Structure 1
Amino acid sequence: MSAGKPLIGVTTSRRSGWRIYPLIALNVWLAGGRSTRWVAGSDADIDAVDGIIIGGGDDISPDLYGGRLVTSARLDPDRDALEHDMVLAAFERNKPVLGICRGSQMLNIALGGSLHQDAYATYASSDQIRTILPRKTVCLEPDTRLAGVAGAAPMKVNALHTQAVDLLGRGLRVAARDTGGMIQAIERVSEPFAIGVQWHPEHLFYAHRQMGIFRALVAAAAACRDATPQLPEVDATI
């Protein structure tokens, strides 16, 4: 590994990113990396970073996946465009990606997937919980990379979302579901490393299993910088 901490580009909303970004930056730092914040309209230079985090925030425009417009939804088209392009550019350059909540959904959409716009209408038996506290149970799929880095046992997570992944994008697989069957995490099968989680691990920095997700991203980013395979480095963090 070359000298210096891997640099992670983090996308946030212009409206609420001021309170979310410091938490994500703390998690990246605890995992051994450093970060820089991107918002729509800023100079987001993907070639200057070793990996990216697509953060949480407003709903994604249904125009990107063929859904219908919900009048109550709060949208941010400029951010949608930035993050959609960032995901595709990251994969073109073999850079790792972590998607958080909205970011997990954007990871899926950028690769051709779709969303349930009203997730709890589709999954009526899923616990409709909205809190930053870890109150929701998710079950990790066996033999997935997420189960490797965060542990295979069911875990308690937080939940702030109303949408969820429906049809999977290219090269992705389900990594976790809640007790009602709703998809809670996805991951890329092959290089480069990519995981999307529907919850907010940045709020759970005190939990070893959640920190494993950030450690995996930073390990993959270090491998990307050194032009070496990422997945073996991620597996070495287990």
Structure 2
Amino acid sequence: MLKGKQRPLIAVTGPRRRGLMPRLLVHLGILLAGGRGTQMTPASPKPAAPYHGVVISGGHDVDPVLYAQKSEVTPRYDPERDAFESEVIDDALKRNLPLLGICRGAQLLNVRLGGDLYQELRSRRLQTSNRWTIFPLKTLHVHDNTCLCDLLGSHSARINSLHNQGINRLGQGLQISGRDLDDIVQAVEDPARPFLVGVQWHPEFLLYMRRQRRLFKALVEAAKECRDRDC
């Protein structure tokens, strides 16, 4: 196993407060994949060392003002985090850094690329439950010829669900790589970049599943290549 500075550094973003357990599990996923994580929040936005990959973690809904819409639901927004993570995503896109967006992270990535969101999904669910769960109780249909299909090694998988918003209009360069039984987008990626993947589920809660750990492995491997070419 790689030690210390040999491991590529992955920035893991989050809010000023709360959300510690999911981020600790993200750090574990990165560690198991051969990387090392560093926390980035609005309170501590500058890591001590250069990083070569990014995970935008889950959390509160993305404020619809970012995609020029009015709020249609009871607000659960974090404007400070929206602004901070928008800057991190924009910088990662500019530098072509490997990036994994998880749940809210996938949604904000889509917004930063010019897409928008469904502000609520309950009314769009006919075959799937709207109940939040960390357990893999929902079915993911994976599209052919995608990075996600290669990573999961299957055209279907079991996933969890902790979100009430979802991707609507795709951002520039993104393609859909997975949907659920209600045809709701569950994964997006940009095949023109070394590694740019957004997933609506939380793979950090599914680290006991080898195929879910592959998402972190692919991120870390892409970060190694980024480090070696001095991104």
Q: CA deviation at 1:47?
A: 7.6
- Partner residue in 2 for 1:22: 24
Judged with a 3 Å threshold, the aligned counterparts in structure 2 of structure 1 residues 127 and 25 are, in CA distance, closer, same or farther, namely: same
Cα deviation digits, residues 137-169 of structure 1 (max 9, x gap)? 010011100110112231111101000000000
d(CA) in 1 for partners of 2:139, 2:124: 18
Equivalent positions of 1:7-18 (< 5 A) are: 7-18=9-20
- Partner residue in 2 for 1:4: 6
Paired residues, number: 228
Which residue among 52, 58, 61 is the counterpart of 1:59?
A: 61
d(CA) in 1 for partners of 2:150, 2:107: 22
Q: State whether residues 143 and 155 of structure 2, in contact with CA within 8 Å, keep that contact through their aligned partners in structure 1.
A: no
1:222 match: secondary structure? helix
d(CA) in 2 for partners of 1:148, 1:114: 27
Which residue among 149, 152, 159 is the counterpart of 1:150?
A: 152
TM-score by length of 2: 0.93
Amino acid at match of 1:41: A
Q: State whether residues 11 and 55 of structure 1, in contact with CA within 8 Å, keep that contact through their aligned partners in structure 2.
A: yes
Cα deviation digits, residues 46-99 of structure 1 (max 9, x gap)? 981000000000001000012221452211001101111111110111211000
Q: CA deviation at 1:44?
A: 2.9
Q: State whether residues 52 and 98 of structure 1, in contact with CA within 8 Å, keep that contact through their aligned partners in structure 2.
A: yes
- Say whether 1:110 aligns with 2:112: yes
Root mean square deviation of aligned Cα: 1.9
Equivalent positions of 1:88-237 (< 5 A) are: 88-227=90-229
In structure 1, the gaps of 5 or more residues are 230-238
Judged with a 3 Å threshold, the aligned counterparts in structure 2 of structure 1 residues 63 and 83 are, in CA distance, closer, same or farther, namely: same
d(CA) in 2 for partners of 1:124, 1:179: 9
2:54 match: secondary structure? strand
d(CA) in 2 for partners of 1:16, 1:155: 29
Amino acid at match of 2:64: P
2:135 match: secondary structure? strand
- Partner residue in 2 for 1:235: none
2:138 match: secondary structure? strand
Cα deviation digits, residues 107-166 of structure 1 (max 9, x gap)? 101100100001232344443231001101010011100110112231111101000000
Q: Percent identity?
A: 41
Amino acid at match of 2:83: A
d(CA) in 2 for partners of 1:115, 1:44: 29
TM-score by length of 1: 0.90
